[in-house]
A and B are shown apart, each in its own frame.
Chain A
Amino acid sequence: MTFSLRFRAAIVSIALFLAFIGIWHIATRGTGTVAHMTPEYARLMGLTATQGKSAMPGPFDVGAKLWQHLKRPFYDNGPNDKGLGIQLGYSIARVGLGYLLAVIVAIPLGFLIGMSPLINRALDPFIQILKPISPLAWMPLALYTIKDSGLSAIFVIFICSVWPMLLNTAFGVAAARKEWINVARTLEVGTVRRAFTVILPAAAPTILTGMRISIGIAWLVIVAAEMLVGGTGIGYFVWNEWNNLSITNVIIAILLIGVVGMLLDQILARFTAMVTFPE
């Protein structure tokens, strides 16, 4: 009796998951009462101190809390306490805006670099120096010059997602098959038309790969940026719960960040599949 590969993989996944939860549960069990305390004193202390409860929450604590959050994802208790749905919305909006700006800048510029060896050589030193800079290193400079923390966060997203797209576009454009361009030239196709009808389809898979890398980086960076800037967003949520030393909520946020990141990646993966052509 053999099951399909998919089915067997699912079984292994579930087994791994259960093992993980089990180990987690055992590792975070309480150690019993640690010290003798008078009841008055115990009332002033937390469970960690009185019952020897582990500072790390167990899987069931996290599950219960997660259920609470999922039941009310869009509550709004004022500027500093909003539901997880709203926080994620803010983060996605920031990423979307910064990312869109990056697309608008990177793809035309990438085309230019890919098509003109002169511009390629001229811009190369700048790109090489700016590319490896950690996006968060731009944060103080952005805050100082833009003078607006929301825009600064968007700028940081822009700056981190622009490089992979730019380089991939340039590479994709430059790598368009010489034969195809020559054919276009023989048929006396103009430069603009050639760019859109020949080079763009040829470079599209590479460009989209760049975009897929970029969205991943942008989503990584937004959490850190929001932790720095505060106000709203899932990064702020992590920071706010960290302030309260609520590891349970931090774990939930980590989980959700992972899920949203995966979804964003999957969306771009679909697009990539759509434009890919067999050689």
Chain B
Amino acid sequence: MSTFDDPFGAGRELSRSGCACGQHRSVAEHDQAALTLRCEPVPTDEEHYQGVVASAVMRAMFPKDAARRAFLKSVGASTALAAISQFFPIKTATEVFAEGGMPEKKDLKVGFIPITCATPIIMAAPLGFYAKHGLNVEVVKTAGWAVIRDKTINKEYDAAHMLAPMPIAISLGLGANAIPFTVPAIENINGQGITLAMKHKDKRDPRDWKGMKFAIPFDYSMHNYLLRYYLAEHGLDPDTDVQLRSVPPPEMVANLRADNIDGFLAPDNICQRAIYDGVGFLHMLSKEIWDGHPCCTFAASREFITGSRNSFAALTRAIVDATAYASKAENRKQIAEAIAPANYINAPVTVLEQVLTGTYADGLGGIKTDARRVDFDPFPWQSFAVWMLTQMKRWGQIKGDVDYKSVAEQVYLATDTRKVMPGDGADPAGFIQVVLGDGQDLRSRQARGLSQQLQDQEGVVTVANSVSSPLPACGERSDCARRRAIRARGNLYIPRLSRQPLTATLSERALLVSTPQAGRGR
């Protein structure tokens, strides 16, 4: 499920399987959408943000998809919205998120590295997303990851494009002084690839790669962890069997041409450039290792977030807008043209178009199509951070014990959310951090109880899952039919819920949903 999808659609899946573009529930629906020119009303900003806010709240409450779907099926979308609104002021949060206050600082500098991962940050400038939110943002191209780190730490940049593990590494003091950094939004998911030199055309099995030299962009990068993971999966020790070198991306293509390296795991525009110049071929996309993996993030220091809340809020809104725009397949061609000039990525349009539209030459004479080659989804799952931390530990970047969960919460949640309970709701930055972060602490005790019970009682979740899965996704069956179907499985408790008066407290509902006995007793 993308952050921009309807979170109250019971048929939505959290993992974005389904159609190729990820925007539809099924392949059939995707085709239908492509065939019919639908005339939909353009959602207003408020509606759009309500979706984003509600989506984040739903995800925070129901980290497990099965539980969320069971909840929605049992009470219906409108009831769910009403019920959640009781303890989380979605409307207020949306308003706060959409409007915010006057930015404390209008002229901001945001650093980026010229790769397609930075698409939302870059395109927000030429396509006017920053201006729309009253900001005058200068996007500054930066020479490398270490420089972007130092310039952001030195406050030359207010926020920056960073590799997903970098804010974690900075916060932990790995390779730099420990400075609390935060990730309010992920930029892209997928969008990397393993490229090999043409001479390895027939060496497609990683087991044969012993002794080869590979380039990665940075030590603290998903590229490093994914490549190590992939090699280790195939029985190679990435520390001894192959050589991994940290090389700036543009030099990767030149080094590949000069035969100094055998391959690299790099952003897709670099891979595609190697193919474009005929020096390499695409071995695989990173999405074949982990579909939906995060790659780059939009990062800012905690100091900036707390010091210039409104500026930060406006900046985040602009990035979320840009990300939403970039996630739509029909906009990709325009984006490719907007970010190709020397002021931004500085690459041939053909190359960027192949990356962003997903129709690309593979370097071996074939044309492939994968609309989700690179995708954009801002939600900073804390589980992403935990995985990265486990990899840092696995490959010896972290010595000693680290509390993965608390680090993940600190970095990928952005603020001490306890301070921004809905009570002092006039805190836009806080809301956004909550909304785009995990939102764990903001949940009222009732809601926590609900989701906790749903999560903890695996058995119930399984039951709920088994109930929900055979049902049709779109709800074309009447409630009666659904109830019959459920009754046939001996789970009477769920349909009853929908007839509970709206005023019933959520904890009661939670009990009803989560304990089969209670439901059966009625």
Residues of A within 8 A of B (CB): 34-35, 37-38, 40-41, 43-46, 48-49, 55, 77-81, 143-144, 147-149, 227-231, 236, 239-245
Some 10 contacts from A to B, beta carbons below 8 A apart, are A41-B367, A44-B360, A77-B341, A77-B343, A79-B138, A81-B343, A148-B156, A231-B140, A241-B346, A242-B251
Check A229 against B342 for contact (C-beta < 8 Å).
Answer: no
Residues of chain A with a CB closer than 8 A to B346's CB: 80-81, 240-241, 243-244
Check B151 against A149 for contact (C-beta < 8 Å).
Answer: yes
Interface residues of B in 130-149 (CB under 8 A from A): 138-143, 147
Check A243 against B278 for contact (C-beta < 8 Å).
Answer: no
Given known A149-B156, A228-B147, A230-B142, contact A44–B354 (CB-CB < 8 A):
yes
Does any Cβ of A come within 8 Å of B27's Cβ? Answer: no
Contact for B140 among A38, A80, A144, A228, CB less than 8 A: A80
Residues of chain A with a CB closer than 8 A to B501's CB: none
The residue on B at minimum CB distance from A44 is B361
Does any Cβ of A come within 8 Å of B223's Cβ? Answer: no
Cα–Cα distance between A52 and B381 once the two chains are bound (Å): 46
Does any Cβ of A come within 8 Å of B366's Cβ? Answer: yes
Does any Cβ of A come within 8 Å of B350's Cβ? Answer: yes
Most buried by A among B254, B277, B350, B366: B277
Check A143 against B342 for contact (C-beta < 8 Å).
Answer: no
Residues of chain B with a CB closer than 8 A to A240's CB: 141, 342, 346
**Cβ proximity bits B243-258 to A, threshold 8 Å, 1 near / 0 not:** 0000001110110010
Residues of chain B with a CB closer than 8 A to A79's CB: 138-141, 343
Check B139 against A45 for contact (C-beta < 8 Å).
Answer: no
The residue on B at minimum CB distance from A228 is B143
Check A80 against B367 for contact (C-beta < 8 Å).
Answer: no
Residues of B within 8 A of A (CB): 114, 125, 138-143, 147, 150-151, 154-156, 249-251, 253-254, 257, 273, 275-278, 341-344, 346-348, 350, 354, 360-361, 365-367
Cα–Cα distance between A44 and B275 once the two chains are bound (Å): 9
Residues of chain B with a CB closer than 8 A to A231's CB: 140
The residue on A at minimum CB distance from B141 is A80
Residues of chain B with a CB closer than 8 A to A245's CB: 250, 253-254, 273, 277
Contact for A244 among B251, B278, B342, B361, CB less than 8 A: B342
Q: Contacts A44-B276, A230-B143 given; 13 further ones with Cβ under 8 A? A: A37-B365, A41-B361, A41-B365, A44-B354, A46-B276, A48-B276, A55-B257, A79-B139, A79-B343, A149-B151, A230-B140, A243-B114, A245-B254
Check A147 against B273 for contact (C-beta < 8 Å).
Answer: no
Closest 6 A-B residue pairs measured CB to CB? A49-B278, A81-B343, A44-B361, A230-B143, A147-B154, A78-B343
The residue on B at minimum CB distance from A243 is B250
Contact for B348 among A46, A49, A144, CB less than 8 A: A46
Residues of chain A with a CB closer than 8 A to B139's CB: 79-80
Residues of chain A with a CB closer than 8 A to B342's CB: 77, 80-81, 240, 244
Cα–Cα distance between A18 and B156 once the two chains are bound (Å): 48
The residue on B at minimum CB distance from A35 is B365
The residue on A at minimum CB distance from B176 is A144
Cα–Cα distance between A143 and B344 once the two chains are bound (Å): 24
Given known A49-B277, A79-B138, A143-B154, contact A44–B143 (CB-CB < 8 A):
no
The residue on B at minimum CB distance from A237 is B342
Residues of chain B with a CB closer than 8 A to A236's CB: 143
The residue on B at minimum CB distance from A247 is B254
Cα–Cα distance between A236 and B139 once the two chains are bound (Å): 15
Cα–Cα distance between A40 and B276 once the two chains are bound (Å): 13
Cα–Cα distance between A4 and B249 once the two chains are bound (Å): 53
Residues of chain B with a CB closer than 8 A to A41's CB: 361, 365-367
Residues of chain A with a CB closer than 8 A to B142's CB: 230
Check B343 against A80 for contact (C-beta < 8 Å).
Answer: yes
